[in-house]
């Protein structure tokens, strides 16, 4: 192993659309959706050490101090990859937690995926080794797509991934009202039937064309999430009222919502206005990413 310290981005994951297509006998829901990423991220540092350790800081790290480290997804990722590769996880892990937790943007999943990618680099493991995705899938449905780091369509219970056509440049604005939301609770609150899969078949030339495609699809968990956290509707209305917004939608099971703009400047301008009017909200502008491999720290 080459002795070195790595610092990796763990970018937020967005569901540009999310259809619930059915439900298995074991209670898991079947999904169809388009996942992409934004250059708003947690930061994970990995360094060789005498033993496995984990620490965290940042604006959303408050809950980690009382947590049993062995239950943390980042630690579990390190232990899982060490077990399947016959290694000992002698590594110090430090997480800068910039993304809100339980917020529908895959923060914990992105952190675990960054750990798996980082350990593969430290340990000289081929990043395409099936063992990495195998560990990821056992840890959580969102983690494999975060490991791959490419825009893609999810299927099955969320673990099946098909790469999507390249996404166009666009500005994105993430907004969370400061309320965590349990994914299982949202699924339990969901009512109604199911939606058919409806995957995009070709690349969009620009943000406006992408939005036209997305507008024909939706997020089937939105109404259920709003029934639990009505402030989500307030966030969506605030995004829709910003100048230049092309589409406002909730991501995943919420409560984070996003707005799409033609460029990053439009998203940044809208962010300034929302921060002024809603100082208690988490507001983060950025850029839509098809591929996070170029996102380095």
* CATH code, 253: 3.30.70.890
Instruction: Report, as an integer, the average pLDDT of 29-37.
Output: 97
131 lies in the same domain as 215: no
Looking at 42, 111, 142, 220, which residue is catalytic? Answer: 142
* pLDDT, position 294: 65
pLDDT in tens, 52-79: 999 999 999 987 777 787 789 999 999 9
Does 224 score more than 60 pLDDT?
Answer: yes
Tally of CB atoms within 10 A around 85: 16
Looking at 13, 39, 42, 111, which residue is catalytic? Answer: 13
- 191 is annotated as an active-site residue: no
What 3-state class would DSSP assign to 99? coil
Instruction: Report, as an integer, the average pLDDT of 251-280.
Output: 97
Number of structural domains in the chain: 2
Query: Pick from 164, 198, 213: which residue ends a domain?
Result: 164
Closest to 277 (Cα-Cα) out of 175, 134, 143: 175
- 23 is annotated as an active-site residue: no
Q: pLDDT class for 1, splitting at 50, 70, 90?
A: very low
The answer to whether residues 1 and 85 touch, using CB atoms and an 8 Å cutoff, is no
233 lies in the same domain as 201: yes
159 lies in the same domain as 276: no
Distances (CA, A) of 186 to 7, 11, 22, 176, 260: 34, 23, 15, 16, 24
Does 1 reside within a domain?
no
Instruction: Report, as an integer, the average pLDDT of 162-185.
Output: 96
Dihedral pair phi/psi, residue 285, rounded to 5°:
-85, 155
* pLDDT, position 297: 82
Does 139 score more than 90 pLDDT?
Answer: yes
Instruction: Report, as an integer, the average pLDDT of 127-152.
Output: 93
Does 3 score more than 90 pLDDT?
Answer: no
**Which region holds residue 106: left if phi is over 0, alpha if psi is between -120 and 50, else beta?**
left
* pLDDT, position 116: 97
196 lies in the same domain as 150: no
DSSP 143-161: HHHHHHTB-EEEETTTTEE
Does 98 score more than 90 pLDDT?
Answer: yes
In which domain, by residue range, is 270 found? 171-293
Q: How buried is residue 13: exposed, middle or buried, by Cβ count under 10 Å (0-12/13-18/19+)?
A: buried
25 lies in the same domain as 154: yes
132 lies in the same domain as 101: yes
Query: Pick from 137, 164, 191: which residue ends a domain?
Result: 164
Does 100 reside within a domain?
yes
Q: What is the mean pLDDT of the chain?
A: 94
Instruction: Report, as an integer, the average pLDDT of 66-93.
Output: 92
Find the CATH number of the domain harbouring 10: 3.30.230.10
């Amino acid at each position: 192993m080459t002795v070195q310290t790595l610092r990796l981005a763990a970018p937020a994951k967005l569901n540009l659309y999310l259809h619930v297509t059915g439900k298995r006998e074991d209670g898991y829901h079947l999904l169809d959706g388009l996942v992409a990423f934004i250059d708003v991220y947690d930061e994970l540092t990995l360094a060789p050490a005498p033993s496995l350790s984990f620490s965290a800081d940042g604006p959303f790290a408050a809950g980690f101090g009382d947590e049993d480290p062995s239950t943390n997804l980042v630690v579990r990722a390190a232990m899982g990859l060490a077990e399947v590769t016959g290694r000992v996880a002698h590594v110090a892990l430090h997480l800068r937690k910039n993304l809100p937790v339980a917020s529908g943007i895959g923060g914990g999943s992105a952190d675990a995926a960054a750990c798996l990618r980082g350990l593969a680099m430290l340990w000289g493991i081929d990043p395409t080794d099936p063992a990495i995705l195998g560990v990821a899938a056992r840890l959580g449905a969102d983690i494999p797509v975060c490991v791959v780091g490419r825009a893609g369509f999810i299927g099955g219970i969320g673990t099946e991934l098909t790469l999507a056509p390249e996404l166009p440049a666009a500005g994105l604005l993430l907004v969370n009202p400061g309320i965590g939301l349990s994914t299982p609770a949202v699924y339990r609150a969901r009512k109604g039937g199911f939606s058919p899969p409806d995957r995009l078949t070709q690349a969009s030339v620009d943000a406006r064309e992408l939005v036209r495609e997305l507008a024909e699809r939706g997020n089937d968990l939105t109404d259920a999430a709003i029934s639990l956290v009505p402030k989500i509707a307030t966030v969506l209305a605030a995004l829709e009222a910003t100048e230049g917004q092309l589409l406002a939608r909730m991501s995943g099971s919420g409560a984070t919502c996003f707005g799409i703009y033609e460029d990053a400047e439009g998203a940044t301008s809208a962010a300034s206005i929302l921060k002024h009017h809603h100082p208690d909200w988490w507001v983060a502008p950025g850029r839509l990413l098809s591929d996070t491999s170029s996102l380095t720290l």
